[in-house]
Amino acid sequence: MFFTTEVMDLLYTTLLCVLTVAVIYTNSATTWVLLMGGFSMCMVGFYTMSNAVDVAITEIAVGYGIGTILLLLAVKETTNKVKKRKLLKPIPLAIVFVVIIIWFNLSSDMPLFGGFTNPIQMHVEPFYLAHSGEDTGVPNYVTSILASYRGYDTMGETTVIFTASMGVMSLLTNSYDKYPNEPVLSVDYLDDKNNLILRIAGKIMLPLLMLYAFYVQFHGDFGPGGGFQAGVIFSASLTTYALTHGTKDSKRAFKPAILRIMLSVGILFYVGTGVLAWLLQYNFLDYYSLIHNHHGQELGINLVEMGVGFAVCSAMTVFFIYFFDPSVRYIAPLAGVISPKDNIQVQKDLLSNDMEEDFLEYLTEHGKKDH
């Protein structure tokens, strides 16, 4: 066949190189975001061909889906122009070439990528393949490795996601603390109720995406999937609803306070499983403490995967909400623009409408548009 693995690898590599050069030299932020989306889709195909379907699911949901949406909305809030760059600078170019030469020289001493004589192929992989089914009772080797053999690593990754979410919420709510007595202008760029086609399409896609997320969550023992993949898919469904219905309607469907609770519950599910093993006088995350056979491993893996799903779904949705929800993301504090005596009236007349045009009209009437 023409489309062999070697041909497809060469095709994907060529596309990635072309997209990389295009990203470097584009002068439009919107074009840059779309090119990065194309780069992400190429990586999805590459991961799929490498039999890493679970990584491909995460990439298409986060890299191509939610990530592209966040970047496009960020461009809408800021500017579409990108500062022009010089074509080539000799000193950075020379440094890059030197690093490439050093890397090629060092990589020649490394084992052949994918070779059967590699240490990982000779010792680690045969152990997992020989003992995973018996030790955990889970047919999917990837799930057993991530959630059981390397459960500490996965707990650390989940904790990183939790910490990043806390940082986002702390940073994006800090502006209000600096101006506690000043009104703020919030604009809901997503509230477009006239776009009926997208709203209906979103309603049709929403239950299908959620159903697929549950399938990936509870089918992760037998095929590609698990908590990370299910979490990002479920978050993508919530983001789709927010994009098609606006942030006001989406807050009625999934409140930010509930997302924050789910984020904490996800971590508690994971850590709590390990603490329960401690209380039963077993090692931390020793799932045999739950049931004294491989069914205990299955139960423990499902519990921690549920925790990962809760944490990832909540974190990705929190990122979206806290970036673009007007009730928590304050775009422009008005300190120094209007007088303190007008604060109450501005809040009543402007902030209740969530319209930037009203704000600009107010400044024009008071001769302060230059601010």
Map residue 19 onto helix, strand or coil.
Answer: helix
Q: Does residue 72 sit in the same domain as residue 155?
A: no
Q: Please say whether the beta carbons of 267 and 308 come within 8 A.
A: no
The total domain count for the chain is 2
Q: Does residue 108 sit in the same domain as residue 152?
A: no
> What domain range is 272 assigned to?
141-335
Distance from C-alpha of 51 to C-alpha of 60, rounded to nearest angstrom: 15
Residue 358 domain-assigned (yes or no): no
Residue 15 domain-assigned (yes or no): yes
Q: Does residue 291 sit in the same domain as residue 217?
A: yes
Q: Does residue 299 sit in the same domain as residue 259?
A: yes
Q: Does residue 110 sit in the same domain as residue 146?
A: no
Helix (H) or strand (E) holding 332: strand 332-333
Distance from C-alpha of 102 to C-alpha of 71, rounded to nearest angstrom: 35
The Cα-based distances of 229 to 223, 232, 244, 310, 323 in angstroms read 12, 5, 23, 11, 22
Query: Rounded to an integer, what is the distance from CA 281 to the centroid of its chain?
Result: 37
Q: Does residue 116 sit in the same domain as residue 241?
A: no
Q: Does residue 155 sit in the same domain as residue 297?
A: yes
Residue 353 domain-assigned (yes or no): no
Q: Does residue 169 sit in the same domain as residue 289?
A: yes
Q: Does residue 102 sit in the same domain as residue 199?
A: no
Q: Does residue 187 sit in the same domain as residue 60?
A: no
Q: Does residue 301 sit in the same domain as residue 174?
A: yes
pLDDT in tens, the chain (371 residues): 556 777 777 888 888 888 888 888 888 888 888 898 888 888 888 888 888 888 888 888 888 888 888 888 778 777 777 666 666 677 888 898 899 899 888 877 777 776 777 777 777 888 888 888 788 888 888 888 888 888 889 899 899 988 888 888 777 764 444 444 444 444 444 555 567 788 888 888 888 989 999 998 888 778 777 888 899 999 888 888 888 877 677 777 777 778 888 888 899 989 999 899 889 888 888 888 888 877 888 888 888 989 999 999 988 888 887 776 555 444 334 434 444 444 444 444 444 444 445 555 555 555 444 44
Both ends of the chain: CA-CA distance in Å? 65
The Cα-based distances of 257 to 240, 247, 260, 319 in angstroms read 19, 14, 5, 13
Q: Does residue 268 sit in the same domain as residue 203?
A: yes
